[in-house]
Amino acid sequence: MNNHVIVSPLANPYVLPIKTIDQIIASPVLIVAPHPDDETLGCGGAIASLRACNCDVRVLVISDGTRSHPNSKKYPAPLLKVLRENETLAALNILGVEKQSVTFLGLQDGSVSKLYQNAVDSCRDYLAELMPQIIFVPWRHDPHSDHRATWNLILTALNQPLPRIIEYPIWDWDEQQRGNFSNITTCWRLDISKVMELKQKAISAYRSQTTNLIDDDPEGFTLTPEMLSNFAHPWEMYLEQKI
């Protein structure tokens, strides 16, 4: 019986090979975010680097992000939806992506796994029109159900031949939540040292997620300094695996 334990590459990412943006450059590129902010946290450096090379970068945000502060009276769901969309546009503008290149699908935050089948056709049309050469998607085994469902949505909507699929981890950086890393084909880091400050500035644009901007919901979500530190490296980690 094989009792081999698969060690997560996130346990010691510093041993992973480094790539430069020249090694993955392509156009158009699609960045898919389960929630407003995942694109900047996971791929902000890649976005800024690709835009610096004049690549066409599009961003598709799947959920509306309104469950981050479900009990706020100052920011009920309709207002929070607008706030988080505006934060996304501000962050992406810092990274070099214009408003017309950002699409908000608007599925209910926390319910993507229940709703994504209804969104497959619209995503299929979107992908067929864009024909991206690379798609950045959340890691398929991310602990958050919306992230896993986002991966399923995009892969279900894709037609053959498949573009290059690059997956990015978010919640697996939390050791307490870290999940399955079996069958990985390759894992590597992207050098983002030249755009690291831009990425940090873009993350800061998400004030609802990084500060006490919304202060009337004791159950409200904010990213902890410990979690944010995982996205403050001069590199980003990516995974590729056979589909």
Residue 10, domain member (yes or no): no
What is d(CA 190, CA 192) in angstroms, rounded to the nearest whole number? 6
In this structure, are residues 102 and 108 in contact, taking their beta carbons and an 8 Å threshold? no
Write down the pLDDT at residue 47: 98
CATH number of the CATH domain containing 137: 3.40.50.10320
Residue 8, domain member (yes or no): no
Write down the pLDDT at residue 6: 62
Write down the pLDDT at residue 4: 47
Write down the pLDDT at residue 241: 85
Residue 142, domain member (yes or no): yes
Amino acid at 88: T
Which segments in the chain show pLDDT lower than 70?
Answer: 1-6, 182-183, 243
- The candidate with the shortest Cα–Cα distance to 68, out of 103, 114, 34, 116, is 34
Q: How many domains does the chain have?
A: 1
Write down the pLDDT at residue 119: 94
What is d(CA 26, CA 22) in angstroms, rounded to the nearest whole number? 9
Structure tokens at 207: 């004030």
What is d(CA 170, CA 178) in angstroms, rounded to the nearest whole number? 10
Write down the pLDDT at residue 56: 98
Note down the domain range covering 220. Answer: 16-240
Which residue(s) pair with 107 in the sheet? 63
What is d(CA 206, CA 213) in angstroms, rounded to the nearest whole number? 10
Residue 6, domain member (yes or no): no
Residue 7, domain member (yes or no): no
Strand spans (E) along the chain: 18-19, 29-33, 57-63, 102-107, 134-138, 164-168, 186-191, 235-240
How far is CA 64 from its chain centroid? 14
Residue 138, domain member (yes or no): yes
